[in-house]
Amino acid sequence: MTDTLPRIETAPRRTSSTAVGLVLAGALSVQFGSAVAALLFPKAGVAGVVALRLTIAAVLMLLVCRPRLRGHRRADWLLVAGFAVALAGMNTLIYQAIDRIPLGTAVTIEVLGPLLLSVVMARRAASWLWAGFAATGVVLLGYQGFERLNPAGAAYALGAAVMWAAYIVFSARTGRRFPKADGLALAMAGAALLTLPFGVAASGTALLHPATLALGAAVAMLSSVLPYTLELLALRRMATATFGVLTSLGPAIAVLAGFLVLGQRLTWVELLAVALVIAASVGAVRTR
């Protein structure tokens, strides 16, 4: 799964190799964080891992950002609430998907959310060509039958795609209403409050085991705190279009993380499907 901050157009004319390295490091961090989360599922359950990740990340972000609570309008808080629901839903659904289907496949389906959003917002005929590429990729993912794909896992991944698109919309609007990363920190806290009761109910005292807490902290750092920091640094050095192209490599990195950490292998047909969705994502970003 891939979290991302609101895109800020502050890039210089040339993109440095350092900026490219920062983006790729952030993408590696997110996907390998998801792989580590999958290792934690048997110990703490999916709901427990989601709660651990969001709660630890929220605490860290609140300590760093120290967002101001006063002086905001009701509409501002409604945006934060929507942002929190999108965060909670996106994380819960993608982890449910990863528990049932390979990591690379889950992230490939999840990418369809921001891809479709980009196609719709571009309002250009060429954008529908990339939508066709993505659709072909999805058909190929199901080519070998839904027994391998797992209908429930695919459905959760599609739900995560919808939540990711909602996340992007709320992220951009919240970023315009709150300074720095204050809106994100508040939304993360709200998402933690939404998921923590379910995590406690599902996993109970297992969440307090030292090994579980340590892995949960690692997931929070890899999947949230570290990527956000690297992305903020990168966005000061590159154009957002370039950033979008690089982050479109997420499914490929997820396939690599799934293979190295979880021992998951994809067939050549499934790898071709991933490549088509990546090409569609890159093309949609460049067209827009």
225 DSSP assignment: I
- Structure tokens of 50? 């989601």
pLDDT in tens, the chain (288 residues): 545 444 444 444 455 678 788 888 988 999 999 999 999 999 899 999 999 999 999 999 899 889 988 888 899 999 999 999 999 999 999 999 999 999 988 998 888 887 777 777 666 767 677 777 777 877 777 665 555 678 899 899 999 999 988 888 888 788 888 888 888 899 999 999 999 999 999 998 888 899 999 999 999 999 888 887 787 677 667 766 666 667 778 888 999 999 999 998 888 888 888 888 888 777 766 665
Query: What element of type H or E holds 59?
Result: helix 17-65
Nearest partner of 286 among 127, 108, 150, judged by Cα: 127
> Within 10 A of 201 (CB to CB), how many other CB atoms are there?
12
Q: What is the pLDDT of residue 206?
A: 87
Q: What is the pLDDT of residue 244?
A: 67
Q: What is the pLDDT of residue 229?
A: 75
Q: What is the pLDDT of residue 5?
A: 41
Q: What is the pLDDT of residue 97?
A: 95
Q: What are phi and psi of 6, to 5 degrees?
A: -55, 140
The pTM is what?
Answer: 0.83
Q: Give CA separation, 264 vs 35, 38, 157, in Å.
A: 10, 12, 17
Nearest partner of 203 among 50, 37, 32, judged by Cα: 50
Burial of 206 from C-beta contacts in 10 A (0-12 / 13-18 / 19+):
middle
